[in-house]
Structure 1
Amino acid sequence: MRRILVLCLFISGLALAQTEDEKRIRSIFDTALTDGMAYDWLNHLSNQIGGRLSGSVQAEMAVDYTKAQLDELGLDKVYLQPVMVPKWVRGVPEFAYMETSPGVTTNMNICALGGSIATPAVGIKANVVEVKGIEDLATLGEEKLSGKIVFFNRPMDAELINTFEAYSGCVDQRAVGASEASKYGAVGVIVRSMNLRLDDYPHTGNMRYGDEPINERIPAAAISTNGAELLSTTLQLNPDTKFYFKQNCKQFDDVKSFNVIGQITGSTRPEEIMVVGGHLDSWDLGDGSHDDGAGCVQSMDVLRLLRKSGYTPQRTIRVVLFMNEENGLRGGTEYAKVAMEKKEKHVFALESDSGGFTPRGFSFDCSDADFEKITSWKPLFEPYMIHSFTKGGSGADIGPLKKDGIVLSGLRPDSQRYFDHHHAANDTFEHVNKRELELGAGAMASLVYLFDKYGME
């Protein structure tokens, strides 16, 4: 009889706790949807500051602005963490055309890839060799590639529902295509944009030369998906088609920038640190609203939402706006380095870097035991249709924090439209839906609340 009574009391306690959690999470979402700040902050970042390429004036304006906003929230501590970042400048807009016969040309939409060298002042014009991937280079060899422009034309796989998986399946041609093609004597590289939609927007993104000598490096540019389709069709009809492009980008010496950090100090376990964040830098073609202005303002609002709901965290909660995710990951690497030097104990980190679209759930990089406990929280997110919890993956900036015992997580919005805007001129404020953005902030604050309250084993 006593065992039955104890069991009943235990179940009753669980039901009460569940009710308390439901009320707290409801309060968080209500505040996010009726009194959120994320959209207003994003409006300023996007429309008053614009694209925030590392090392740019706009990036430094974003540092000043977000620090000022965190100061206004009355957090326990707000500070800047210095970090040296690369400074790459696009320069005068790029120009390109294909030539099917002498004097017969069609202009093409291209943009230089981040980190690329410039073309010669007069540009480059050469015959084009189309390939579907880096593996094709060795098959063709120097005989067929020397003196040519290599055209990487492997599209994202439309059959994959997870568009980030499709992106991963072809992004190597952007990242190292130029470095690999130069080994066979190619003079330039044109890469199909990482985009599932057919449009006229070229999508930039980082590329790297590694240890390749400067005099052996070749310029690389992205071409819009419509342009890639047209160029490919034209080459089939006329293999002697030539391509001309000119770009004026330049790499400068590293410059000083900052991660922007604000925190609420924990009431009973201040030595245990939880991080929520996104990256403050963006590419320069649009204003970086989805990538990753959305993640930054959502993360900032997490701390405000917890305060507004009346919750006092046990653990220290930090918002970190990382600098230089796009072309170096210097901010995330520096944050983890300093944390290690200070022997800080990080127990949880959540990143939003998948756009401000409708949130569907979270991914978790953690042990099986931790994931089992986390999945017990799924019913609390079902009323908001944000209950897709998957194991594996988190975020690039929090990745360097990974070690045994820490749980890393990533907000996972619906990804079907993300690559329509990713790294392109149409990554702009008008493409962010206010309610979707606020739902993401509410979901992140709710997960942080649950982890702080219950922790992991």
Structure 2
Amino acid sequence: MKYLLSLLLVFLTAFPSFAQTNQDETHIRKIFDEALERGESYEMLRHLTKNIGGRLSGSPQAAAAVEWSRQQMMAYGFDTVYLQPVMVPHWVRGQKEIGRIVNSKKLGSVDVNVVALGNSVGSGSEGVLGNVIEVQDFQELAKLGKDQIQGKIVFFNRPMDAKLLDTFSAYSGASNQRGAGPSEAAKYGAIGVLVRSLSSFKDDVPHTGGTRYGLNIPKIPAVAISTNDADKLSDLLEDDTDLKFYFETHCEMLPDVLSYNVVGEIRGSQKPDEIIAVGGHLDSWDLAEGAHDDGAGCVQSIEILRIMKAMGYQPKRTIRAVMFMNEENGLMGGRKYAQLAEENNENHIAAMESDRGGFLPIGFGISGTKAQQDKLLSWKSLFEPYNIHQFKRGGGGADISPLRTQDVPTIGYLPDSQRYFKYHHTGIDNFEVVNQRELELGAAAMASIIYLIDQYGL
């Protein structure tokens, strides 16, 4: 027996990476077991969505979400839980929007599905009525010029590219018409803007999202129109360029208000000054409950620390769960977090974000040095038993992106994205569309990456 033990000791000494891999495989299996058998992320999400609901920055619901997440992390016994004050925009939607095609040759007048873009000015009760001119991009808009645009409603109708398997790339390729379209159209004298909803699907559900007004350019009202109604309007315009469109919105931007990022952490036992942050954004749009965007990312981040405590795991480094405020229409929480990290000389060795929904995990992407990327990519084989296989260079998230100026490697959690843009920024992003097992698998996958970074650094 002693002889066999000696041989085993020699073997493990000669091949430390083998022993290390076995140890990591065992620990990761335990993480998944804890998340799948005793996970609490789904019930946390139920409370956040059903008891609090949509959490637009500056709203009473956003304030309630701050207090809920603070109390939740305190109840789990995290070593430290605290608030980071941050001033955030306070945009309100007001009463329900109206959208109507007026006096078309084929259909006469017909109501369509629209929602105001976030941060947009409102039209007031007088509404916006005008002829419509359809464009695909800013280059086409510039070619038409002021002579053909002035006094009209510009209709940006460029769809997301259905050929792209990465739906986030498709989203990026179409999103500038929403973000900058209203100001671009206003340069040429437009009186209002319609934007095709940024969706991978044909349906009657309009998608909101933030717009950004340029300096010294008139602010004009802007709405998103559902993909089905965008197609309908485009078809009608082919035969009737004189049809008119009417929309009415009652949104307005109020003075900034005080809100908070919420931070919970487990202090490291060996290197407490080295910080690994993981988070999601606590705010959401106001049309629904913000389940996928981004209640899922918030509860997954809290769940990671809960799993560690439940397993009795004492991290070497400090692990933080961060609930960022105001990603949707300002990014003020992410900027404040990075500012305070710099002012306090904090040493973040990595930051991870979950902001792509609570769908089935497929991988991770990392931005950083080649050595940091190589290290994360070297862990791929540990995740293959869980069908998590996409480890790639390049990744992160909006809220952790300000940390890149401090040379912090940023990691984006990658769930399957094919269904995400059905729910993103809509009135149907509710608790019921999140699958419990997929949410829990995602939390386990993220916790496993955090464990590896804690063990071996980046």
Shorter-chain TM-score range: over 0.9
1:210 aligns with 2:189: no
Shift, 1:304, TM fit: 0.8
How far apart in 1 are the matches of 2:222 and 2:112? 15
**Amino acid in structure 2 at the alignment position of 1:24:** H
| 1:349-388 map, 5 Å | 349-388=351-390
**Amino acid in structure 2 at the alignment position of 1:250:** E
Corresponding residue number in structure 2 for 1:23: 26
How far apart in 2 are the matches of 1:420 and 1:83? 31
Corresponding residue number in structure 2 for 1:40: 43
Question: Unaligned stretches of 5+ in structure 2?
Answer: 1-7
Question: 1:391-417: per-residue Cα shift (whole Å, max 9, x none)?
Answer: 112111011111465321010000000
Corresponding residue number in structure 1 for 2:123: 119
Shift, 1:369, TM fit: 1.3
**Amino acid in structure 2 at the alignment position of 1:293:** G
How far apart in 1 are the matches of 2:148 and 2:13? 74
Does the 8 Å CA contact 1:29/1:443 hold for their aligned counterparts? yes
Does the 8 Å CA contact 1:179/1:212 hold for their aligned counterparts? no
The partner residue of 1:52 within 51, 55, 66 is: 55
| 1:291-370 map, 5 Å | 291-370=293-372
**Amino acid in structure 2 at the alignment position of 1:81:** Q
The partner residue of 1:132 within 101, 123, 136 is: 136
How far apart in 2 are the matches of 1:130 and 1:344? 50
Question: Unaligned stretches of 5+ in structure 1?
Answer: none
**Amino acid in structure 2 at the alignment position of 1:144:** Q
Q: Percent identity?
A: 54
1:397 aligns with 2:419: no
1:84 aligns with 2:81: no
The partner residue of 1:422 within 421, 424, 434 is: 424
How far apart in 2 are the matches of 1:191 and 1:443? 36
Q: Please, which moves more after superposition, 396-405 or 94-103?
A: 94-103
Does the 8 Å CA contact 1:54/1:281 hold for their aligned counterparts? yes
Question: 1:152-196: per-residue Cα shift (whole Å, max 9, x none)?
Answer: 000000000000000000100000111010111110000000001
Shift, 1:237, TM fit: 1.5
How far apart in 2 are the matches of 1:118 and 1:181? 16
How far apart in 2 are the matches of 1:245 and 1:164? 29
Question: 1:291-332: per-residue Cα shift (whole Å, max 9, x none)?
Answer: 000000000000011122222101111100000000000000
Corresponding residue number in structure 2 for 1:257: 259
Corresponding residue number in structure 2 for 1:107: 111
Q: Please, which moves more after superposition, 100-109 or 116-125?
A: 100-109
1:194 aligns with 2:198: yes
Q: Please, which moves more after superposition, 54-63 or 120-129?
A: 120-129
How far apart in 2 are the matches of 1:11 and 1:386? 30
Does the 8 Å CA contact 2:41/2:299 hold for their aligned counterparts? yes
TM-score computed with the length of structure 1 as normaliser: 0.96
Shift, 1:210, TM fit: 2.4
**Structure 1 residues 81 and 404, CA gap change in structure 2 (3 angstroms):** closer
**Amino acid in structure 2 at the alignment position of 1:341:** E
How far apart in 1 are the matches of 2:121 and 2:12? 69
Corresponding residue number in structure 1 for 2:272: 270
TM-score computed with the length of structure 2 as normaliser: 0.96
**Amino acid in structure 2 at the alignment position of 1:253:** P
Does the 8 Å CA contact 1:24/1:309 hold for their aligned counterparts? no
How far apart in 2 are the matches of 1:250 and 1:43? 30
How far apart in 1 are the matches of 2:14 and 2:174? 51
The partner residue of 1:448 within 447, 450, 458 is: 450
Question: 1:340-360: per-residue Cα shift (whole Å, max 9, x none)?
Answer: 111111111010000000010
Corresponding residue number in structure 2 for 1:160: 164
How far apart in 2 are the matches of 1:210 and 1:344? 34
Corresponding residue number in structure 1 for 2:248: 246
Q: Please, which moves more after superposition, 94-103 or 79-88?
A: 94-103
How far apart in 1 are the matches of 2:424 and 2:251? 20
**Amino acid in structure 2 at the alignment position of 1:180:** E
Secondary structure at 2:15 match in 1: helix
Shift, 1:239, TM fit: 1.1
**Amino acid in structure 2 at the alignment position of 1:25:** I
How far apart in 1 are the matches of 2:389 and 2:10? 29
Secondary structure at 1:284 match in 2: coil
**Amino acid in structure 1 at the alignment position of 2:309:** R
**Amino acid in structure 2 at the alignment position of 1:139:** K
CA RMSD of aligned residues (A): 1.5
Shift, 1:20, TM fit: 1.0
Does the 8 Å CA contact 2:104/2:240 hold for their aligned counterparts? no
Secondary structure at 1:299 match in 2: helix
Does the 8 Å CA contact 2:104/2:236 hold for their aligned counterparts? no
How far apart in 2 are the matches of 1:82 and 1:165? 33
Q: Aligned pair count?
A: 450
Corresponding residue number in structure 2 for 1:145: 149
Q: Please, which moves more after superposition, 120-129 or 279-288?
A: 120-129
**Amino acid in structure 2 at the alignment position of 1:254:** D
How far apart in 2 are the matches of 1:240 and 1:387? 53
Question: 1:74-127: per-residue Cα shift (whole Å, max 9, x none)?
Answer: 111001110000000000000010013499300010000000001142111100
